[in-house]
């Protein structure tokens, strides 16, 4: 989808303040700043404004405004799904400079950055603390270098999406045999898909928006997500059975449009 089409659609849906914030492409920030006006920063995600990810974006923006005052202009599009876009669209929206900053699960980049497949392995971390130490340490630095070498992003860090669990509408899952034949939505990761295939499920790679539609419509049996996501997107209203399996741990890299980031003064970058 082109920048022109995105802005046209945003205007059509633009009764909200979020839509209005998209009417000036983020790449314009490269031509702004100080003598030419404030640095315009558009932060975006794909969840309600009440989620921890949206609140984190707001905290980042508040800190920038507290430090730089009228030298920055921060806008928010907390949920691009409300504008008719898919969760995965945030990747190209940032990479093309329509948005300045966004986040997405690392699995969405495994086709371009194969190294990210490592952190898709099942039961890689025994708990959140171990995963945080790795992603905030050498593992995170290696993955950041890999992402930046193959994309037009700068990576600020990693949000914790957390340990993932299963939910379904058919039956309790107490052993791998209970997964047999279940249509299971998985992230766009061949590691994830193969894992559930070996366990007997029928993995379906699809974006979040499509998965929600099929869950509501009753055509998708199961999904896997952190409990917080399962509740945020209303899956618990349609899935009776929930299994605390801790089978995968996923991070969400925080992406910034590289040309915009590189145009900022050093004090703003840090």
Position 165 pLDDT exceeds 70: yes
Residue owning tokens 């869950």: 215
pLDDT score of 13 more than 50? no
- Please check the confidence at residue 162 and state whether its pLDDT lies above 50: yes
Q: Name all domains of the chain by residue range, CATH numbers in brackets.
A: 3-105+253-269 (3.40.190), 165-245 (3.40.190.10)
Buried b (16+ CB within 10 A) or exposed e, 143-177: bbebbeeebebbbbebbbbbbbbbbbbeeebeeee
What residues contact residue 240 under an 8 Å CB cut-off, 6+ apart? 169
- Distance CA(49)–CA(250), nearest Å, equals 21
Number of C-beta neighbours around residue 111 at 10 A: 12
Q: In this predicted model, which residue has the larger pLDDT, 237 or 25?
A: 237
Q: For residues 199-223, give the mean pLDDT.
A: 96
Give pLDDT, residue 270: 85
* Bridge partner residues of 225 (DSSP): 165
Mean pLDDT of 152-173: 97
- Contacts (Cβ under 8 Å, ≥6 apart) of 179: 173, 196, 199, 200, 201, 222
pLDDT value for 15: 39
Residue among 74, 69, 144 nearest 113 (CA) = 144
Read off the pTM.
Answer: 0.85
């Amino acid at each position: 989808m082109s920048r022109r089409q995105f802005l046209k659609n945003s205007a059509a849906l633009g009764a909200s303040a979020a839509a209005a914030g998209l009417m000036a492409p983020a790449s314009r920030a490269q031509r702004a700043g100080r003598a030419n006006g404030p640095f315009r920063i558009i932060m975006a995600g794909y969840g309600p404004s009440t989620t921890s990810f949206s609140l984190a974006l707001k905290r980042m923006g508040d800190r920038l405004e507290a430090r730089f005052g009228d030298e920055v202009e921060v806008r928010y599009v907390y949920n691009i799904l409300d504008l008719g876009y898919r969760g995965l669209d945030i990747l190209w929206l940032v990479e093309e400079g329509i948005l300045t900053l966004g986040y997405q699960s690392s699995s969405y980049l495994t086709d371009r950055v194969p190294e990210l497949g490592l952190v898709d392995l099942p039961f890689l971390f025994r708990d959140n603390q171990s995963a945080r130490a790795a992603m905030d340490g050498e593992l995170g630095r290696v993955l950041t270098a890999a992402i930046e070498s193959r994309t037009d992003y700068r990576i600020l860090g990693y949000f914790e999406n957390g340990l993932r669990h299963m939910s379904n509408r058919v039956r309790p899952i107490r052993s791998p045999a209970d997964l047999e034949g279940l249509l299971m939505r998985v992230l766009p990761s061949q590691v994830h898909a193969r894992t559930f295939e070996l366990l007997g499920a029928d993995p379906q790679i699809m974006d979040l928006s499509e998965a929600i539609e099929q869950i509501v419509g009753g055509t998708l049996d199961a999904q896997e997500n952190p409990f917080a996501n399962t509740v945020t997107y209303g899956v618990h209203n349609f899935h009776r059975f929930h299994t605390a399996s801790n089978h995968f741990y996923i991070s969400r890299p925080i992406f910034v449009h590289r040309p915009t980031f590189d145009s900022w003064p050093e004090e703003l970058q840090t």
